[in-house]
Amino acid sequence: MADFYYLPGSSPCRSVIMTAKAVGVELNKKLINLQAGEHLKPEFVKINPQHTLPTLVDNGFALWESRAIQVYLVEKYGKTDSLYPKCPKKRAVINQRLYFDMGTLYQSFANYYYPQVFAKAPADPEAFKKIETAFEFLNTFLEGQEYAAGDSLTVADIALVASVSTFEVAKFDIKKYANVNKWYENAKKVTPGWDENWAGCLEFKKYFE
């Protein structure tokens, strides 16, 4: 069983939990207390010199960065390649969506909300505009599409649903983006591990109350 160092409220951690569920891999979950500095302890830094969450250790093989972990789990344990197809073009679109999630969508969340939540900084309207722009892009990607990349559920949907559900508990109005909202409502029903994802979202929600 792979060791999984995580925080339940973290969107990247939740995307890995859902991916593991989708491929039938049980994770030995190890909660890390960032406030107590557990991620900076020498034994954890030895596993992951970047000391970030999530981190996976699978039979001695250590990996971090959630989207890399998602792909690894599917490639190693997936009974089919449906979540990350071998076709170069299909895979390229999935990769684009994963990088969009990491560098644009989730990044916009971090840039706007984290300073308010963790540093008690005032809201930055310019950072909020970047969230709206990110959702406009996603809304365009999803025009006429039931899934984020292709015609079935992939790791791209799983990563994006982890991020979008976090925006929901932060009270961002997803319904303004019709294509995103329609995709999201479907993703809640078809994504393995959604219930655990939502439980983690509710844990994160306390920062916004």
Residues marked active site are found at 10
DSSP string for residues in 109-171: HHHHHHHHHHH-PPP-HHHHHHHHHHHHHHHHHTTT-SSSSSSS--HHHHHHHHHHHHHHHTT
> What is the C-alpha separation between 10 and 162, in angstroms, rounded?
9
> What is the C-alpha separation between 208 and 116, in angstroms, rounded?
9
Angle in degrees, CA 204, 205, 209, rounded to 5 = 135
| Phi, psi of 152, deg, nearest 5 | -155, 170
Amino acid letter at 174? Answer: I
> What is the C-alpha separation between 114 and 93, in angstroms, rounded?
29
Cβ neighbours for 60, distance < 8 A, ≥ 6 positions apart: none
- The β-bridge partners of 2 are 27
Q: How many CB atoms are closer than 10 A to CB 84?
A: 24
